[in-house]
Amino acid sequence: MERKLWIVKHDDGISGYFFDTQRRVTIDVFNVIGDFISIRKKKIGTDGRNRTIYALQNHIFTQLVDDDPCEIERQYDCYYEEMHREVKRAFINLKKALVIINSPSAKPQRRINDFEELKSILGLNFAVEISQFENDCDVSKAPQTMKDNFSITYKNCKSVTDLVFSMLHFYISNRYRLIQCKHCGKYAAVSSFKQTYCNRISTYRGHSQKKDKKPLACEQAVRDAKQQHARQRKSLYDKMQKATAYHAHNVYNRFLAECENHRMRIDIAPSVANLVAYDNYLYQVSQKREWTKMDMEEVVKQMDEYYERFGDMFPTMAFQNATPDEVSKMILDCLEKDKKMKVDLDVVY
Ligand SMILES: [Zn+2]
């Protein structure tokens, strides 16, 4: 079946479509290859007889090549196997192409030549057609700021490899690189290595985030999470500072060191996992409220001092629900004012 990739450059950006004889499917030009790379692979079977299974999950390429109804009805298993072989082949060849695309030192023309060479070695013969540049397939020669729309069509795409390579051809001739997003870890086509995030929607959700919060793209999500973490950290830090307990000092130092570790890790790799780890840590600290729990040893020392001073035990039974920190405050208060704690016995029992 004849399939086509059609890319349109217009004032608002770039749109892409796949066609076959029956339909047109919109694709995300910058992420379609990255999503393909992310398809999960799994090895099954025993040694010597193992094979790779791909969780294709409706990826656009496989949608187009996957459902020729007559074929499926006739010999579903066989077709499915063939499909997997197709995807596997595309994967292997894609790896070789990525080396060319991302070669940091090679000049654009050199990369195009290397790519064309690989294309011919693989025997791919999709044809490229650019609407406003007759007899010239090099999109990189197109003016950078074009007022009029132009389109580029990749015809005669028969296999998954054809679809992948026609998309790669577009990247390479327009000087795009494929980067791995620092946040979501998926690959995306970008115009410069300086760009380190993709435009996908982040899956990160923090504990304190509202349920109805609008979804954010990777870069914005990281910025947002960092601000959120800084606010949470500050709020916990303030509470710890207010806690007068002796033990709180240890809690406080441990907390600062742990936050610093998380922050450093996030600065190097602001991945979803690292943001979640810091968020979970802050959440746990806020739940445990460790700064309110004073070291019992210190309370015992204060109680001894109370006994020596007043010749009587501090009436702890009257304050069974108080935290050690609160008891400590009461004892210190008595010592400071030089007054015994008055307890209304009716209330106690
Ligand atoms: Zn991303």
Q: Is residue 266 located within the same domain as residue 317?
A: no
Instruction: Give Cα separations from 301 to 162, 275, 323, 336, 338 (angstroms).
Output: 79, 42, 16, 15, 17
How many angstroms separate the alpha carbon of residue 271 from the centre of ligand 1? 9
88 Cα: distance to centroid of ligand 1 (angstroms)? 24
Whole-number Å distance, alpha carbon 33 to ligand 1 midpoint, is 13
CA of 219 to the centre of ligand 1 (A): 7
List the domain range (segments joined by +) for residue 257. 218-292
**Same domain membership, residue 103 and residue 9:** yes
Q: What is the count of structural domains for the chain?
A: 3
Same domain assignment for residues 12 and 60: yes
In this prediction the pTM is: 0.71
Quote the pLDDT of residue 141: 47
Spacing, Cα 312 to ligand 1 middle (Å): 66
Which residues make Cβ contacts (< 8 Å) with residue 4, sequence separation at least 6?
A: 18, 19, 20, 153, 154, 155, 157
d(CA 165, ligand 1 centre) in Å:
22
Q: What angle do CA 19, 197, 176 make, to 5 degrees?
A: 50
- Tokens 């001092």 correspond to 305
The predicted structure's pLDDT at residue 56: 65
According to the model, what pLDDT value does residue 80 have?
A: 63
Domain end call among 277, 292, 307: 292
How confident is the prediction along the chain (349 residues), in pLDDT tens digits per residue? Answer: 678 888 887 767 788 888 777 777 888 999 999 988 887 777 777 777 776 667 666 676 666 555 554 444 444 455 566 677 777 888 888 888 988 888 877 788 888 899 999 989 988 888 887 765 433 434 444 444 444 567 888 888 888 888 889 999 999 888 898 999 999 999 999 988 889 999 999 999 988 777 788 889 999 999 999 999 999 999 999 888 877 655 567 778 889 999 999 999 999 999 999 999 999 999 999 998 887 776 666 788 888 999 999 998 888 878 877 777 778 888 989 999 999 888 765 554 4
| C-alpha 180 to ligand 1 mean position (Å) | 8
The rounded Å distance from CA 218 to ligand 1 centre is 5
User: Has residue 200 been placed in a domain?
Assistant: no
Residues 268, 339: one domain? no
* Token output for 75: 């010999």
Contact, 139 vs 67, CB < 8 A? no
Q: Is residue 95 part of a domain?
A: yes
Helix ranges (H only) for 122-247 are 160-173, 218-242
Q: Are residues 14 and 96 in the same domain?
A: yes
Identify whether 339 is part of a domain: yes
The answer as to whether 197 is a domain residue is no
